[in-house]
């Protein structure tokens, strides 16, 4: 009968096969296998991002520029990421409601936000109590668009130029109304800048979105709106609204025949808005980098550039840091503009 070999301690001896040295390549393979087996679940999940649908919050109503941009970006990201990116309109409080919803969402990469300068630069100077912190509650990803606005009036307004409109307002103090997409929205700020620059008394009428103010303008309920291009363009082309001037330094490619506010007599007038994509603070850096890289591809697509141009919007792409830098740089400038216009936080 075979004799069982034992170690000096009395335990069974190791098999000769187990005593063979393990090669470096085999040791590395075993190490990788063990790492995969015991790696934290979140690490594996992030490497496969995204594994389910993504929500893109648009903080303004359907039909406006933010909504149109959100749907175009969502469509392109869906194609590149291989998962549905669904737009979730969270309108109200000049964009604050949508931003608050995004800030309070899980930082797992499955909630994104189409942010904008009106909400993160201007609102902190207009609302005494903000439901979110523009700098500390978000992980910025990239700039995605910028645009000027167009000053439009109802055809019944007896003014075809900015000089004529200003003269009409001076002759009728407090009798002309200008609508906006809400308190602090760029359409509101542009109106306040115009009032301050020429010294007129026109009454601000805030709406829940610029498209609603344009709808009331077409109906003759108000006299003028500093509008985004998207809701105004069809009405201008249909002859239902009259374009007076654009707020950008250069003329808009979408309305090349319309002069700028500067050309119309107000030196240095420059009022526009930009949009960015952000995520809740704490979103993994790998996710931010992935979405930033895909947005870079989106902004280079010919059909995206063409669509943007028709909307009077310029494509943008940037580092995450650039978004934060822009907010910090523009905030004190906006504070001075509002103070000069006599607008106080409420």
In this prediction, residue 7 carries a pLDDT of 41
Q: Are strands 203-206 and 177-180 parallel, antiparallel or unpaired?
A: parallel
In this prediction, residue 23 carries a pLDDT of 52
Spatial separation of the C-alpha atoms in residues 60 and 45, rounded to whole Å: 32
In this prediction, residue 341 carries a pLDDT of 72
**Cα–Cα separations (whole angstroms), residue 213 to 13, 97, 222:** 87, 19, 8
Q: Please say whether the beta carbons of 223 and 153 come within 8 A.
A: yes
In this prediction, residue 47 carries a pLDDT of 58
Spatial separation of the C-alpha atoms in residues 31 and 286, rounded to whole Å: 24
**What DSSP line would sit under 275-313, residue for residue?**
EEEEEETT--HHHHHHHHHHHHHHHH-HHHHHHHHHTTE
- Dihedral through CA 118, CA 119, CA 122, CA 125, nearest 10? 160
Say which residue the tokens 């301050």 belong to: 196
Q: Please say whether the beta carbons of 168 and 237 come within 8 A.
A: no
Q: Quick count: other Cβ atoms within 10 Å of Cβ 263? A: 15
**Burial readout 218-254 (b: 16 or more C-beta within 10 A, e: otherwise):** beeebbbbbbbbbbbbebbeeebbbbbbbbbeebbeb
**Burial readout 96-131 (b: 16 or more C-beta within 10 A, e: otherwise):** bbbbbbbbebebbbbbbbbbbbbbbbbbbbbbeebe
pLDDT, block means (10 residues), the chain with 346 residues: 43 41 47 42 58 96 89 98 97 93 98 96 93 97 95 98 98 97 87 93 92 96 94 94 95 92 95 95 98 98 92 93 96 87 79
Spatial separation of the C-alpha atoms in residues 89 and 16, rounded to whole Å: 68
**All domains in the chain, ordered by first residue:** 52-147+273-340 (3.40.190.150), 150-246 (3.40.190.10)
């Amino acid at each position: 009968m075979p004799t069982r070999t034992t170690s000096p301690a009395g335990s069974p001896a190791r098999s000769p096969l187990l005593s063979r040295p393990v090669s470096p390549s085999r040791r590395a393979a075993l190490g990788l296998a063990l790492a995969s087996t015991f790696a934290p679940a979140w690490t594996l999940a992030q490497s496969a991002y995204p594994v389910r649908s993504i929500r893109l919050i648009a903080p303004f109503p359907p039909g406006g520029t933010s909504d149109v941009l959100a749907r175009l970006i969502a469509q392109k990201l869906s194609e590149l990421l291989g998962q549905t990116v669904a737009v979730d309109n969270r309108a109200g409080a000049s964009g604050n409601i949508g931003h608050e919803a995004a800030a309070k969402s899980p930082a797992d990469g499955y909630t994104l936000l189409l942010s904008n300068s009106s909400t993160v630069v201007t609102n902190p100077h207009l609302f005494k109590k903000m439901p979110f912190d523009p700098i500390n509650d978000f992980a910025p990803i990239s700039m995605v668009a910028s645009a000027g606005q167009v000053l439009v009036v109802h055809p019944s307004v007896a003014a075809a130029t900015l000089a004529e409109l200003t003269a009409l307002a001076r002759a009728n103090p407090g009798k002309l109304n200008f609508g906006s997409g809400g308190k602090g929205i760029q359409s509101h700020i542009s109106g306040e800048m115009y009032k301050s620059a020429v010294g007129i008394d026109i009454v601000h009428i805030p709406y829940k979105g610029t498209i609603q103010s344009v709808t009331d303008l077409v109906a003759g309920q108000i006299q003028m709106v500093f509008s985004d291009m998207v809701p105004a363009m069809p009405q201008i082309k249909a002859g239902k609204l009259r374009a007076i001037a654009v707020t950008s330094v250069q003329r808009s490619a979408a309305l090349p025949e319309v002069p700028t506010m500067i050309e119309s007599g107000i030196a240095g007038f420059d009022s526009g808005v930009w949009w960015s994509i952000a995520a809740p603070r704490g979103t993994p850096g790998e996710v931010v980098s992935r979405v930033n890289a895909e947005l870079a591809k989106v902004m280079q697509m010919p059909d995206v550039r063409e669509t943007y141009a028709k909307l009077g919007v310029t494509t943008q792409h940037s580092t995450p840091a650039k978004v934060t830098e822009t907010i910090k740089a523009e905030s004190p400038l906006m504070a001075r503009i509002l103070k000069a216009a006599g607008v106080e936080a409420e």
